[in-house]
Structure 1
Amino acid sequence: MLAHLREHGEPTDPRDDIDTASLVRRFPRLAAVETRDLTVDGARGPQPARLYRDPSAAPSGRAFVWVHGGAFVGGYLDMPESHWVALELASRGIPVLALDYTKCLGEAHFPVPSDDVLAGWRLALENAHEFFGVGPDAVVLGGASAGGNLAVGVAARLRDGAGTAPAGLVPVYPALHPNSVDPGAPLDPASPIGRISENFAGPGGIRDPYAFPGLGQGEGYPPTLVVVCELDELRPSGEAFAEMVRAAGGAVDVHLEPGAAHGHINEPADPTALPTVEAIVAWIRRLPLG
Structure 2
Amino acid sequence: MIETHDVALTSAEHDFRVRVYPAPDPGGAMLVWLHGGAFMFGTLDMPEADQVGRRLSERGITVVSVDYTLAPLGALDAFGPPPEESDVSPEQIRAEAAAAGPRARFPVPSLQTVAAFDWAVENAVRYAADPARVSLGGASAGANLATGAAMRLRDRARRDRGATSPRFLALVYPSLHDGILEPNDETAGILRDVPAGRLFTPEIRSVINRNYLPDGDDPHGYAFPGGHDLTSLPPTLIVNAERDSLRPSGEAFAAELARASVDVRVVRQHGAMHGYLSEIGAPAAERTLALLEQAISQA
Q: TM-score range by the shorter chain?
A: 0.7 to 0.9
- Per the TM alignment, residue 62 of structure 1 is displaced from its structure 2 partner at its CA by 0.9
- Per the TM alignment, residue 135 of structure 1 is displaced from its structure 2 partner at its CA by 2.2
State the distance in 2 between where 1:40 and 1:177 align: 29
Give the TM-score normalised by the residue count of structure 1.
Answer: 0.81
State the distance in 2 between where 1:49 and 1:67 align: 10
- Structure 2 partner of 1:173: 173
- Structure 2 partner of 1:272: 284
State the distance in 1 between where 2:278 and 2:10 align: 27
- Structure 1 partner of 2:110: 114
The one-letter amino acid paired with 2:117 is W
Task: Rate the CA distance shift 1:199–1:206 in 2: closer, same or farther, 3 A.
Answer: farther
Root mean square deviation of aligned Cα: 2.0
- Structure 2 partner of 1:89: 56
Confirm whether residue 34 of structure 1 aligns to residue 46 of structure 2: no
Give the TM-score normalised by the residue count of structure 2.
Answer: 0.79
Match of 1:214, SS state, is coil
User: Which digits, 9 at most, give the CA deviation of each residue in 1:1-53, with x for residues without a partner?
Assistant: xxxxxxxxxxxxxxxxxxxxxxxxxxxxxx2x221111121223221210002
Q: Structure 2 residue aligned with 1:260, among 247, 256, 272?
A: 272
- Structure 1 partner of 2:36: 69
State the distance in 2 between where 1:190 and 1:79 align: 26
Mapping for residues 134-173 of structure 1, pairs under 5 Å: 134-161=129-156, 163-173=163-173
State the distance in 2 between where 1:183 and 1:206 align: 24
Q: Give the aligned length.
A: 249
Contact kept, 8 Å, 2:242 with 2:270, in 1: the verdict is yes
State the distance in 2 between where 1:208 and 1:217 align: 8
Mapping for residues 1-290 of structure 1, pairs under 5 Å: 31=1, 33-55=2-24, 57=25, 59-105=26-72, 108-130=104-126, 132-161=127-156, 163-182=163-182, 191-205=203-217, 209-287=221-299
The one-letter amino acid paired with 2:294 is A
User: Which digits, 9 at most, give the CA deviation of each residue in 1:92-121, with x for residues without a partner?
Assistant: 000100001111116722111101111111
The one-letter amino acid paired with 2:177 is H
Identity, % of aligned positions: 43
Match of 1:284, SS state, is helix
Contact kept, 8 Å, 2:32 with 2:63, in 1: the verdict is yes
State the distance in 1 between where 2:253 and 2:49 align: 23
> Which structure's relative contact order is higher, taking Cα pairs within 8 Å and 6+ residues apart?
2
State the distance in 2 between where 1:246 and 1:183 align: 20
Choose 108-117 or 89-98, whichever is displaced more.
108-117
| Structure 2 portions without partners, runs of 5+ | 75-102, 158-162, 185-200
State the distance in 1 between where 2:277 and 2:37 align: 13
Contact kept, 8 Å, 1:222 with 1:250, in 2: the verdict is yes
- Per the TM alignment, residue 183 of structure 1 is displaced from its structure 2 partner at its CA by 8.8
State the distance in 1 between where 2:183 and 2:273 align: 19
Match of 1:221, SS state, is coil
